[in-house]
Amino acid sequence: MRDAFAAAFPAYPDLRLPVNASVGTPQQLRDRGWFIAYRVDVDEEEVVLTYFAHHRMTDDELCRIDAHGRAETIGACQLFYVADQPGAEAAYYEHNRRFYEEVDRLGLGGGAPPAATINAYLRSGGGSEAL
């Protein structure tokens, strides 16, 4: 699990999980613009790492790594929508509102830097209290 997390951020050696991460308690890592909020949980008798990654130069992502090191993106902020498609703008804001609400539901939005909070607010149409 720790190796899979490190592999997601190979250019950032300070973004490493501690050996004894607390189970069920959201924790944070920061390095060169990255804000990573993570939690380790036991899900159906398996240890699972869930993390929210924010950097001003990338999209915000919610990812999960299982005890076997299998990583998956379970959510991401939508960056764009096609302006001439009916309903695209509303769908964009709704998608992002739900995404940031899930980040908060998992307890991973607290302590986020201002850039992450501004992203969440603007990309969800200004109607979300997430992060």
109: DSSP letter: S
Q: How far apart are CA 63 and CA 53, in angstroms?
A: 8
103 inside domain: yes
Phi, psi of 122 (to 5 degrees): -70, -40
73 in helix, strand or coil? strand
Taking residues 70-88, what's their average pLDDT? Answer: 94
Whether residue 44 lies inside any domain: the answer is: yes
Question: What confidence category does residue 20 fall into, taking pLDDT thresholds of 50, 70 and 90?
Answer: confident
Host domain of residue 15: 2-123
Backbone φ, ψ for residue 112 (5° rounding):
-65, 145
Q: Is pLDDT of 115 > 90? A: no
In a domain, 112, yes or no: yes
Element (H, E) at 27: strand 27-31
Inform me whether the pLDDT recorded for 130 exceeds 70. no
Q: Does residue 128 lie in a domain region?
A: no
- The CA distances from residue 49 to 81, 108, 115, 124, in Å, are 30, 12, 24, 26
Is 90 a member of any domain?
yes
CA distance 116 to 128: 13
Residue 129 located in a structural domain: no
Q: How many domains are there within the chain? A: 1
| Average of per-residue pLDDT across 92-103 | 95
CA angle 91, 113, 98 (to 5 degrees): 20
Q: What are phi and psi of 61, to 5 degrees?
A: -130, 150
pLDDT at 56: 86
Q: Is residue 131 part of a domain?
A: no
- Residue 108 falls within a domain, yes or no? yes
pTM of this structure: 0.91
